[in-house]
Amino acid sequence: MAEKLLDWNEVLIGATIKDPGNSRSYETGSWRVERPVWNPDECIQCMFCWVYCPDSSILVDENGKMTGIDYDHCKGCGICVEQCPKKSKALTMLLEADAKGKSEEEIRKEAFSK
Amino acid sequence: MALLNDLAKKKEGLVNGHRLCPGCTHSVIMRQALAAADTDKYDIVIAAATGCFEVSTGLYPYTSWNVPWIHSAFENAASTIAGVEAMYKVWKKKGKTNKDIRFIAVASDGGTYDIGLQALSGAIERGHQFLYICNDNNAYQNTGNQRSSATPFGASTTTSPNGTIIQGKTQPKKDIMSVLEGHHMQYIAQASPSNWRDLMDKVKKALDVNGPTYINVIEPCTTGWGFPAHKAIEIAQLAVDTCVWPLYEVVEGKVVINYKPKNKLPVEEYLKPQKRFAHLFKKGNEHLIEEYQKQVDKHWEWLLKREESGISY
**Cβ neighbours for B310, distance < 8 A, ≥ 6 positions apart:** B254
Mutate to test the interface with A, among B5, B7, B9, B16 (most CBs of A within 10 A): B16
Looking at residue B1, what is its pLDDT?
Answer: 57
Q: Which of B7, B26, B62 sits opposite A23 (nearest CB)?
A: B62
Residue B18 Cα distances to B24, B51, B164, angstroms: 11, 14, 40
Cβ(B144)–Cβ(B159) below 8 Å: no
**Is residue A30 within 8 angstroms of chain B, CB to CB?**
no
Q: Which of B8, B16, B233 sits opposite A60 (nearest CB)?
A: B8
**Is residue A42 within 8 angstroms of chain B, CB to CB?**
no
Element (H, E) at B22: none
**B245 or A13, which is more confident:** B245
B59–A23 C-beta distance less than 8 A:
yes
Q: Please say if the pLDDT value at position B228 is more than 90.
A: yes
Q: Please say if the pLDDT value at position A2 is more than 90.
A: no
- Nearest CA-CA partner of B61 in A12, A112, A76: A12
Q: What is the pLDDT of residues B78-98, one digit of tens each?
A: 999 999 999 999 999 999 999
Give residue B48's Cα distance to chain centre: 13
B233–A52 C-beta distance less than 8 A:
yes
Mutate to test the interface with B, among A19, A33, A55 (most CBs of B within 10 A): A55
The rounded mean pLDDT for chain A is 90
State the DSSP code for B51. S
Q: What is the pLDDT of residues B235-269, one digit of tens each?
A: 999 999 999 999 999 999 999 999 999 999 999 99
The rounded mean pLDDT for chain B is 94
* Reported ipTM: 0.91
Chain B residues whose beta carbon lies within 8 Å of the beta carbon of residue A51 = 4, 7, 28, 31-32, 35, 196
**Is residue A44 within 8 angstroms of chain B, CB to CB?**
no
Number of domains in chain B: 1
- How distant is the Cα of B88 from the closest Cα of chain A, in angstroms? 19
**Is residue A54 within 8 angstroms of chain B, CB to CB?**
yes
Looking at residue A86, what is its pLDDT?
Answer: 80
CA angle B133, B138, B143 (to 5 degrees): 95
B4–A55 C-beta distance less than 8 A:
no
CA dihedral A37, A91, B225, B136 (to 10 degrees): 110
Per cent of chain B over pLDDT 90 is 92
CA angle A76, A77, A78 (to 5 degrees): 90
Q: What confidence category does residue A3 fall into, taking pLDDT thresholds of 50, 70 and 90?
A: low
Q: Please say if the pLDDT value at position B276 is more than 70.
A: yes
A8 vs B116: CA distance, rounded Å: 31
At position A54, the amino acid (one-letter code) is P
Beta bridge mates, B44 = B102
Cβ(B158)–Cβ(B144) below 8 Å: yes
Q: What confidence category does residue A4 fall into, taking pLDDT thresholds of 50, 70 and 90?
A: confident
CA dihedral A57, A62, A63, A68 (to 10 degrees): -30
Domain that holds residue B40: 4-309
Beta bridge mates, B293 = none
Give residue B60's Cα distance to chain centre: 25
**Is residue A1 within 8 angstroms of chain B, CB to CB?**
no
B20 vs B54: CA distance, rounded Å: 10
For residue B124, what is the domain's CATH number? 3.40.50.970
CA dihedral A69, A70, A72, A76 (to 10 degrees): -50
Q: Please say if the pLDDT value at position A87 is more than 80.
A: no
Mutate to test the interface with A, among B1, B217, B230, B235 (most CBs of A within 10 A): B230
Looking at residue B147, what is its pLDDT?
Answer: 94
Beta strands (DSSP E) in chain B are: 43-48, 69-71, 101-108, 131-136, 187-191, 213-218, 248-251, 254-257
B72 vs B287: CA distance, rounded Å: 44
Q: What confidence category does residue A79 fall into, taking pLDDT thresholds of 50, 70 and 90?
A: very high
Q: What is the pLDDT of residues A31-50, one digit of tens each?
A: 999 999 999 999 999 999 99
For residue B256, report the phi and psi dihedrals to the nearest 5 degrees.
-125, 120
Element (H, E) at B197: helix B196-207
B17–A28 C-beta distance less than 8 A:
yes
Question: pTM, whole model, 2 decimals?
Answer: 0.94
Q: What is the pLDDT of residues B128-181, one digit of tens each?
A: 999 999 999 999 999 999 999 999 999 999 999 999 999 999 999 999 999 999
Q: Please say if the pLDDT value at position B308 is more than 80.
A: yes
Looking at residue B61, what is its pLDDT?
Answer: 85
B8–A50 C-beta distance less than 8 A:
yes
Beta bridge mates, B106 = B48, B133
Longest pairwise C-alpha distance within chain A = 58
Domains and CATH numbers, chain A: 28-113 (3.30.70.20)
Nearest chain B residue (CA) to A58: B8
Q: Please say if the pLDDT value at position B2 is more than 80.
A: no
B50 vs B72: CA distance, rounded Å: 8
Residue range B275-288: mean pLDDT, rounded: 93
CA angle B101, B51, B47 (to 5 degrees): 15
B22–A63 C-beta distance less than 8 A:
no
DSSP string covering chain A: ---SPPPTTTSPGGG---STTGGGGS-GGGG-SEEEEE-TTT-----HHHHH-TT--EEE-TTS-EEEE-TTT-----HHHHH-TTSSSSEEEEEHHHHTT--HHHHHHHHHH-
Q: Please say if the pLDDT value at position A5 is more than 90.
A: no
